[in-house]
Every structure is written in structure tokens, then in C-alpha cells.
Structure 1
Amino acid sequence: MAANLVNLEAVGKAYPNRTLLDNVSLGIGESERVGVVGRNGDGKSTLLSVLAKSEPVDSGRVTHTSGLRVGQLSQRDDLDPDKTVRDQVLGGMAEHEWASDSRTRDVLTGLFGGLELPGLSHGLDSTVGPLSGGERRRVALAKLLIGEYDLLLLDEPTNHLDIEGIAWLAAHLSDRRCALAVVTHDRWFLDEICTRVWDVQDGNVHEYDGGYSAYVLARAERERIAAVEADKRANLVRKELAWLRRGPPARTSKPKFRIDAANALIADEPPARDTPELMQFANSRLGKTVFDAEDVTITAGDKVLLRDWTWQLGPGDRIGLVGVNGAGKTSLLRTLAAAEHDRQPATGRVKVGKTVRLAYLSQEVVELDPTWRVLEAVQRVREHVDLGNGRQMSASQLCERFGFTGTKQWTVVGDLSGGERRRLQLLRLLMDEPNVLFLDEPTNDLDIETLTQLEDLLDGWPGSMIVVSHDRYFIERTTDTVQALLGDQSMRMLPGGIEEYLERRREQMSQAPVGGTGGTRQRAGDSRAAKKELSRIERRLEKLGNKETELHEAMAVHATDAGKLAGLTDELAALHNEQSELEERWLELAED
């Protein structure tokens, strides 16, 4: 069995008010893919830093194999604000060097949309300082991914990536041969790339085989066994009490406890949502009309996002809204929300049902009075919330569901982290008993445990809902239909869900104009021809690279043979000429 690349032996790491790692021993082997999950603040990021040896441990030992190349992506980048993206990502590489490298091309295309970096205002020559947090994140990720490493340690790499970007990153990492440990709350991403899961809880790290789905099943089985053991202990206590009351105990047979396979845990589990019941209840709360848009045009400056848009959000509809960045997802939500306050769009009309009570979770975290306590901030909205069908939940109980347990409910708002403030914002919205929810990137800064609690709560929530999110798992888990803004000024329903969206986007990209003034069919044909030529050039460049290596080795062998060396030198010069011509042609095609 091959030795691990990195080993932790009885490692301890603590801060004055919390122990993050307590006598932890584990390791990562070659090509192993580990997903790291756990509650915010439980030490996931610290674990990655310990693995990288970028943070010292209080006790125990961390060992790396000799010459181990470690690449680390932290939540905070170390980019120089005065340098350009070109300087930070490509360093001193000449253009023909990086442009002819397949990995560099793949990374720049996947993260920024192409070699000209349309995802940045000034392409490679953009200065890092003025970039947004999302742009800086992509630059830091690109800088890391073009390198060659034995072990990649990634802390929330999907932050600021859209659904397409996350799908690209998953495919890119799957194709790499290095080992990987990744902290992420994106459960679809975990399932795609991970072969093991580490669950960080209360200073311990529990290990599970498989991706996120396998982890959920294994954890459920572990908790079931623990519950059985708890029941056994409770039964023993009851029997002991009965004996004390009756005198000599009666003879009893020992109970037998059977441990079923993990799949048996969910065999009799009902669907997450009773959709017909929720729809019926939503109709009684909302009536027939919720939001009706008629011939609405939505713009952002001079750009038309949606033209002559006619659409209906009905009672009980649960819609996942996806689309390319800048296609108008947030603008659509704002247009509908404004109509509730009688602010109609410039073109067209939005009709709002008389009984609509909208709660809109925007991407911005609403600032609360920093002197309030968590529970107080919730109780100021309402003491109890009606969950439908006669079910009620107190402010304190709802706080528990959202991870504010015990004394955490008395924490001052000003002391909360960004993720905790996001949770509190969502909690206050739900406490106001809305019957329509607009959730714009609700998963930002939420850990997996909080996400599952939110999903469980939404399962029984009777109302209409639109979710805008890059979290594919959350959309598929909480909504019934997916609709998309594909950047063509219209909105499409996608029966095939996220997979259909990604397929449509691939088709769009393949039919994008490559230049000239011909029609769409001609441009699509030109695009396909260009792609074929690019592929041919890349294959030839790869062969020439291999041949160049062989020539250098031969020159080293025949270094004392002047005649042989002269022939090899001429052959190498011809090869370099062909490389230069191919690289120039490749750049022409890529720029088109």
C-alpha cells in the first residue's frame, strides 16, 4: 500500500475559547479526493492550513512526503493589488508559451470565458486592485490551477462561480491526477469530485467513504445505531425501575437489534414534500393570482434583459431561476417585488394578488441593530410563526432550527459572523409569515448543516417561491421546476432541469459567432470549422513538444559527435519554426 502524501498524527489545535482539532490522526493518499464538511467555525479551514503546514499545531505531528508540491487556495487571496491579472496569473510567461499550453487555455476559458477574458473589464491587463471580490476569487483560482501540484487544498473554491463555472471546475479537477482536499458547502460539487468525506465536529474528524450522498446515508446509519443504543439504555433503566417496584425480576429474553443496510434507512421514507397538500393550502392562502407579468420589458441601462415578457407565478409554484451572469435574474425579482408596492415597469404591467405577502431575501445582508440579541431580533418580528395545518413554532424553536442553539440565542448581533447574519436575516423574513418567497443566492455563507435545516423547513412551507442560486443541489432539492434566462431576452422553462440548462449553454457557445457578417448558420459552421482546426493544431503542438524532448535527449547523448549534433540541431530548428507558425495560427483562431 502506497504511503500517504501527508499525515496528521495525534494533532491538536486550539484557540482560547475553542478546541478545533483534538488528537486527530488522518492522511491523504495519492490521487485521493477528500471533501471536508462541518458547521461554520468548527475548524474546516484550520484543518486545511494544518495539512499545508501553513499553520502550526499545538501538539502532534504533520508530515509530508519528500518534495511534496502543495497548492493552497485560502478564503482570502494574497494578490498584489498593484499588479495586472497577467502578472498574477501568468507571471513572466511569454504569450506563445501560455497560449499553446492546453491547461492554461482551459483554465482561462473555464473561469473567464476565453483567452480575451470577457469576464474582466480589461482582460489580462486589468489591475487587480479595482476588481470585485468575485473577480479576485477567479484570478486567485486561475493562478493556482495553471500550476502543477501533487496535492491541492481548496477552501470554498465554488464561491462566486455560477452553475456553469462550478460544472467546469468539477470537470477540471476530475481530470487532474493530483490528490485533493476541498472545503465546500456545495453538495453537488462534493458528489461529483470526492471519494471520501471528512466531517469536522467538536474537535473530531469522522471519515466516510464516497461522496456527499454516500456520506449522508452512512451518517444516518451511524446515528440510527446510536439511537438504538440510547433506546437500549433507556429500556434497561425502565426495567430496573420496574424490578425495584415489583421485587424479583421476571425472566425476559434479550432483545435483538438488526442493523440494516444504509439504503433501508430511506426505503419507507415519504417524499420530502407533500406537493398536492401544499398546493391546496397555498391556494387557500393566496387565491388564484400571485404574480402575473404581461408584455414586460426589463432593462439595465441600455441593455434589454427581457423583452415583451409574459409569465405567471401561481399559488404553490416553486421555481428555480438560473442563467448566465448579467442575464437579469436579480432584475426580474426586483421588478416583481416593486409591483407589490405599486411601482410598475416602464413597459408592460405586473399584476399582484391581493393576498400576497412577499418576503424578499436579497444578496445584500440587511444591517440590524448591533446591540440586539439574536432571539430579540427575531421576537421583534413575531413571537410565534404559523407553519400551516395547525403547526406553530416559537421564535426560540425557529432559532434552534437555524443553528442558534442554547446560549447562541443571546449573542449580540454585532458579534455574529457574515454567515450567521445571513441566517438571521432569512430567519426574520420567515418569521413574518410570508406566503411568497424570493430567495436571491440564499446559500451564501451557510454551512451544510444549516442548509439541510433550511431545506427541511421549506419542505413544509406552503406558498410560492422563486430561488436564484448557483447551488445546484439546493435548487434541485427545494424547487419543482427550473426556468432559465439564457441571455436572449426571453425566459424558458426547462423540463430537464439544470442538466438541460448546461446543455443549452453548450449549444449556445458552440454557435457563437467567430467573426464575419454571415448569418447564424454560417457563423455556426465557421465556429465548428475553427474548433476543429484548433483541435488539430493542439494535437500537432503536443506531438512537437514530445519530439522536442526526444531531440534534446538525443543531443545530450551525441554531444561529442559534431556531425550527428549538427543534424539534430537543424531538425530542432525546423521543429521550432513549425511550432511558431502553429502557435501564431492558434492565437488568430482564439482571438476570433
Structure 2
Amino acid sequence: MSILATEQVSHSFHDKWLFTNLHFALQKGDRVALVGINGTGKSTLLKILAEQIVPTEGKVVKERGIKIGFLSQEPSFNGMETVNDFIYSADNEQQQLIKAYENLLISDKIDERILAELTDKLSALEAWEYEYNIKTILNRLQISDFNQTIDSLSGGQRKRLSLAKLLIDEPDVYVLDEPTNHLDIETIEWLEKLLTTGNKTVLLVTHDRYFLDNVCTEIRELDKGSLFIYKGNYTYFLEKKAEREAIDAATAEKAQNLLRRELEWMRRQPQARGTKSKARIDAFYELEEKSKGAQKKENVQLSVKISRQGSKILELEKISKSFSEKKIIDNFSYIFKKGDRIGLAGKNGSGKSTFLNLITQVIPPDHGNIIIGETTKFGYYKQEGLTFKQDDRVLDIVKNVADYIEMANGDVITASQLLTLFLFPPEKQYNLVNRLSGGEKKRLHLMRVLMANPNFLILDEPSNDLDIDTLNVLEEFLDNYNGVLVLVSHDRYLIDKLTEQLFIFENSGNLKIYNGNYADYKLEQEQIIRNEKERVKSTPVEKKAPSSKTEKKRLSYKDQLEYESLEKEIAEIENTIKQNAELLNTITSHQEIAAIALDIEKLQNELDNKSERWLELAEYM
């Protein structure tokens, strides 16, 4: 039974119908990804289901009392002033108690009587686990200054704050529009676990194929106003979509052949008045519609000339950079070579964008030298996007760089022809840039960077707001690109496919070079963590009396009980996983194997969370 659905929903935008009579239903426990090219109406459909906008026709129906959480690409904060005001809902008793408790703990003087009252109330409402979950969510999303005004937050901070609020509120249905934008890879992996733990109902739009595969069990494609459903992962979707398009093309080709004969009949026939003739005329128009399915699908075409590259490309000699007291890069050296394909990895704020600004000489280093080769020509795709005037047209953006562009095969084309290759048809080239969608602006920015024929290409989060089809074309272009590539992306699929080396930004300005892609690095890190857990378990914990400085960090009685119980729970879960794994070897039923495998996955997620909490508490024992 559906808990959220549309009934004959149709919606138009700028006098164009995005979809008509659309039926879209979610059942409890569904985890669905909505895919489609930019401009098909994915974000609009999410807003309609989340009751953020009213459809032009039709309506949304939902189960009584159901709560929908919506994450927009551009969050709204309803006049809230501070982070604290937004995080803790005024009408939620548990959240207000937790807010008071947290505010009391960070105050200069703690009133023990009030603390005792709050502790008793939180215990009575069984809110301690909820309080821990809130802390975990806020820490993971790097939200620590609760008195900061919302107006002072960057776009990325606003998106993370909005996501934090949604996760804290624990809605019945999670509706997420590009949830991985502005998150680092570690946080994305944590979010995957959170969304797949429990029987959550999730509907999301994302360009991140690993995230899509790891979270969703069903893909629905919005294509030319119609909805196509695929039960499976992204690879399965691609296979079945190709089959569907081949069938549609064959059907349309047959319709076109028949249409030619019918067209001759239409031309010869006088205006029809009889029933038989009228029926044939109606059939002609139906046939005409079917034949349109054979229209060639348009894709962005990337093919630009690469400038010649000399033997000296770029040398970094013991460079360092700090902001205030924080070291970003400390004494780092590297000589770039032809064919280098380097990914930058590290948490948000670790220094990746600073590194890019250093090598492109946007900012100077505090110490050391940056030597750029004479033939090195940078192409810098910035996360911030295009800079343009309010009266700039799409065509102006290209002509400001060049009127003619040389392609990889030596052909010279006009700015207008290049725009057409990037899916900006002539009628759209004279539109104002500020009327483009977010994805179209990103595509235009990418085109402007590539048309300068760079031989040292820097891409800072290129996958944000680009549809998957455009990303596939970009990947194919970069696969064959023979210049130097430096890539910053939270898209693990993109990093794995296009890079062969990582610069990893660690604490205190340490920049580590790792030979391999992100998947290799992740496997190595997981092994290190497993080894550390084994070491901690086998090493007796020495209990020390806390000093006056660390008095506030001393474990409460409740935390001590939790620490002791976690040891038993972890051992029990490990034993259950072992038993289930052994059981898999003794059964042949596919249904039973699938059910046990799902249990093992849930238990493993639970084990990871409890182990992480145990290690956290162990630091203060």
C-alpha cells in the first residue's frame, strides 16, 4: 500500500509541460532514485511530492499523519536567525530539553540543580539515545558553532545544516535533492549507512553513482514526461534502458515507413467527411506521434584541441601556507609530469581549494617556490561556477573568450556552433545567463574552460548539478585527455575512474602522496582501522584520574554503564554474524540466502556504530 503518491499530476513551467497525468507512488521501505537529464523536471517532481509546490493539475495523496522531510538544492530557513534556532524545533519537547542540556554544559558555571532536573526529564523521556544521535549528526556534518547566524553561512554550510535538521527530525519519508553536494567522501559514506539502516523510505535525486547503488534498490527514470521503473541498481538500469530505447527506435522506424505511405494517402484524399475516412485520419496523427520516438538523442560533444606541453610543467618547492594559526600545507614538494592524473582527497576545509589557488597563483605561498613551465596552460573549472553580468547572454560568455574555436580534429568552428555541440540550440543562445538552470550554468562553465585548449586541467567538484548523461560524456573526454589532470570530487566513481594518484590532505598541513585511486586507499584505511580495533581490544585500558582541565570530559555514570554494556553487545553481534555466515554455507534456498545476507549487512552496520562509540568512550576511561 502506498504511503505517498500522485494522482494524475501534470505540471508546466514557462509554458512547457514537464509531465502530464503522472502517477508516482512510494511504499514504506522503498529506496528510490529518480534520474533523467537536466530540465526533465526531477527537482520539480520532488517538490510536488514534498508539498513544497502545488502541481498545475492533479494532487498528492499521503497516509494520514505521515511526516515528509525535504532537502532542497537551495534550502529555505523560514526567517530563523541562528543555527541553534533552526536545529531545535520549538514544538519538539525532546529537542528543547536537549538544547537546554547542551547550552548548560557549555556555560561557564553549571547549575547542578538544573542539570539534575534536565537529566531526570531526559531519562524519563528516554531521550539519551536521541541526544547522542543529534550530536553524531551535527559532528559528522561539521556543525559546531550554534550561535552563528544563518545569513553568514556559505552555500555548502546551508546545505549541510538543512540536511542535519532533516536527519535529526527522523521523517517517515526522506525526499533528498542532490544530498551529497558539499559533503566530503567520509561523510557521504556515513550518510549511506544511516539511510540504509532501518526500514527507511527514501526518494532521492543524485549524480553520485556509488551513492545511488549503495542506497537505492529501485531506479525511476523521468524521460520526456514519462516515467520508467527499473528494479535494480544503476548498471541494471543502463542495460534495460538501452534495451527499451532499441525497441522504441525499431517501433518508431516501422511507424515512419508506414507514415510515408499514409502521408501519400492524406495528400491525395479530399477533405474527409465519412466515418471511415475520419478514423483513418485520426490513425494517421497517432502514427505521426509514434514516429517521433526515433528522434536522435542529443548528447554533449566534447572535442577540443590540447595545447602543446613542454618538458617543464609545474614544480612545487617546499611550499607552505597557513591561515591565522592553522597550517594548511607544510613544506610540500612535487614535480608534475606529463600524463599525471591526480585526485585531491581530504575532509571539507582541509585545504584542497587552497592548494588549487596556490598552483594557479591566485594566492602566493607563505614559503617555498612555485615554478610554472612556459608552455603550461591552465584550465580551471571552479566550484563557485560562472562569473557573469546580469545582462550577459549565453553567446556573450563564449564570445568573450573567442569567436572561433579549434577542435581536436583541426576543424575551426564558430562560438555558436560550439554552443550547439554543448546542447545550447540557437534559440537558447540569446537567452540571459541568469535564466539558465543550475545544471546548464555548470555545463556552460565547463565549455568555457575547455575552449581555451588547456594542457593542465583543474576540475573542482565538476559533478555538482550535472546530470549523469553529461557526466558520462565528460568522463569519456577525460579518459582520452592527454594533458595533466587534477581533480577534486566527492564523487568516488569519478575519482576511481579518472585518477591514478592521490594527494591526501591530513591534519597540521601534512600532504601525503598515495599511489593508487580512492578505492585502493579506502581498503587500506579500513584494514588499518580493523588492526587498531584489535589492538585496543587486546590492550588493557589504564585508568587515570582526570585533571582539573579535563574535568568536564569525565564520563557520566550513564556513559560508564553504556561503555560496559557495549563490550558485551559488540561480542554478541560478532558472534551472531559468525553464526549467520556459517549458516549461509548450509542452505540452498535463494530466498533464505538473501534474507540472511540482509541480516548480516544490518548487523555489520550496527557493529560499526557500536565499535565507533566504544572507542570514543574508551578515550575517557
TM-score by length of structure 2 reads 0.69
Check if 1:192 corresponds to 2:196.
no
Q: Residue 435 of structure 1 aligns with which residue? A: 455
After superposition, the C-alpha distances for 1:118-149 in whole angstroms (9 at most, x for unaligned) are x3453x45454433333332232222212343
1:111 positional shift: 4.6
The one-character-per-residue Cα deviations of 1:263-295 (angstroms, maximum 9, x if unpaired) are xxxxxxxxxx9xxxx9xx98x921322112122
SS in 2 for 1:465: strand
Q: Tell me the residue number matched to 2:359.
A: 336
Shift of 1:181: 0.6
1:297 is paired with a residue of what secondary structure?
strand
CA offsets 1:562-582 (integer angstroms, 9 cap, x no match): xxxxxxxxxxxxxxxxxxxxx
Q: Do 2:219 and 2:230's aligned partners in 1 also have CA atoms closer than 8 Å?
A: yes
Deviates more, 1:220-229 or 1:305-314: 220-229
Identical residues among aligned pairs (%)? 33
Amino acid of the structure 1 residue aligned with 2:311: K
Which residue type is aligned with residue 72 of structure 2? S
Secondary structure in 2 matching 1:180 = strand
Alignment partner of 1:152 out of 174, 184, 200:
174
Cα RMSD after superposing both structures: 4.1
- 2:326 is equivalent to residue 303 of structure 1: yes
Distance 1:344 1:414, change over 3 A: closer
Q: How big is each residue's C-alpha offset from its partner over 1:216-253, in whole Å with a ceiling of 9 and x where there is no partner?
A: 2222222233344456667889999xxxxxxxxxxxxx
Q: 1:476 to 1:398 in 2, by over 3 A?
A: farther
Equivalent position of 1:464 in the other structure: 484
Task: Find the aligned partners of 2:202 and 2:131 in 1 and give their Cα distance.
Answer: 19
Paired residue type of 1:329: K
Pair 1:57–1:349, CA change in 2 (3 A): closer
Q: Say which SS state the counterpart of residue 320 (structure 1) adopts.
A: strand
Q: For residues 503 and 93 of structure 1, do their structure 2 counterparts lie closer, same or farther at Cα, with a shift above 3 Å needed?
A: farther
Query: What letter matches 2:351 in structure 1?
Result: G
Inter-CA distance 74–330: structure 2 relative to 1 (3 Å threshold) = closer
1:161 deviates by 1.2
The residue type equivalent to 2:231 in the other structure is: D
Quote the Cα distance in structure 2 between the aligned partners of 1:230 and 1:21. 21
Local SS of the residue matching 1:56 = coil
Q: CA–CA distance in 2 between the matches of 1:91 and 1:325?
A: 27
Instruction: Quickly say closer, same or farther: Cα 1:355–1:525, change in 2 above 3 A.
Output: farther
Note if 1:409 corresponds to 2:432. Answer: no
Query: Distance in 2 between the 1:232 and 1:372 partners?
Result: 45
- Return the letter of the residue paired with 2:469: E
Describe the SS at the equivalent of 1:36: strand
Would the alpha carbon gap of residues 49 and 146 (structure 1) be closer, same or farther in structure 2, given more than 3 Å must change? same
Q: 1:449 to 1:147 in 2, by over 3 A?
A: same
The CA deviation at 1:170 is: 1.0
What is the correspondence of 1:517-528 to structure 2 with a 5 Å cutoff?
none
Q: Residue in 2 aligned with 1:553? A: none
Q: Who is 1:321 aligned against?
A: 344
Distance between the aligned counterparts of 1:144 and 1:344, measured in 2?
40
* Structure 1 Cα separation of the partners of residues 521 and 542 of structure 2: 21
Using the TM superposition, give the Cα deviation of residue 37 of structure 1 relative to its aligned residue in structure 2, in angstroms: 2.0
- Separation in 1, partners of 2:616, 2:409: 64
Distance in structure 2 (CA, Å) of the matches to 1:527 and 1:332: 41
Shift of residue 415, structure 1, vs aligned partner: 2.6
Which segments of 5 or more consecutive residues in structure 2 lack a partner in the other structure? 89-93, 102-118, 263-301, 545-554, 571-613
On the 8 A contact 2:80/2:86 being kept in 1, the answer is no
Contact 1:384 / 1:431 at 8 angstroms: preserved in 2? no
Give ranges in structure 1 of 5+ residues lacking alignment. Answer: 241-272, 513-519, 543-584
Distance between the aligned counterparts of 2:185 and 2:228, measured in 1?
Answer: 29
Query: Within 2, Cα distance between the matches of 1:388 and 1:205?
Result: 38
**428-437 or 194-203: which moved more?**
194-203
Asked if 1 retains the 8 angstrom alpha-carbon contact of 2:500 and 2:515, the reply is no
User: Are residues 1:208 and 2:230 paired?
Assistant: yes
Instruction: Name the SS for the 2:195 alignment partner.
Output: helix
Deviations 1:316-344 (A, max 9, x none): 222211111222111111111119xxx86
Distance of 1:380 and 1:588 partners within structure 2: 59
The question of 1:92 aligning with 2:96 is answered yes
Cα offset, 1:435, TM superposition: 1.0
Q: By how many angstroms is 1:168 displaced? A: 0.9
Counterpart in the other structure of 1:493: 513
Q: Contact between 2:322 and 2:366, CA under 8 Å: does it hold in 1?
A: no
Once residues 93 and 538 of structure 1 are traced to their aligned partners in structure 2, the CA distance between those partners, rounded to angstroms, is: 26
Query: 1:177 Cα shift?
Result: 0.9
In 1, Cα distance between equivalents of 2:62 and 2:370: 62
Contact 1:80 1:128 in 2 (8 A): no
Aligned partner of 1:73 in structure 2 is 71
CA displacement at 1:590 relative to structure 2? 8.6
Q: Is the 8 A contact 2:179 2:206 kept in 1?
A: yes
In structure 2, the residue corresponding to 1:327 is in which secondary structure? coil
Residue 449 of structure 1 deviates from its aligned partner by 3.1
**Residues of 1 paired with 2:137 and 2:323: CA distance?**
26
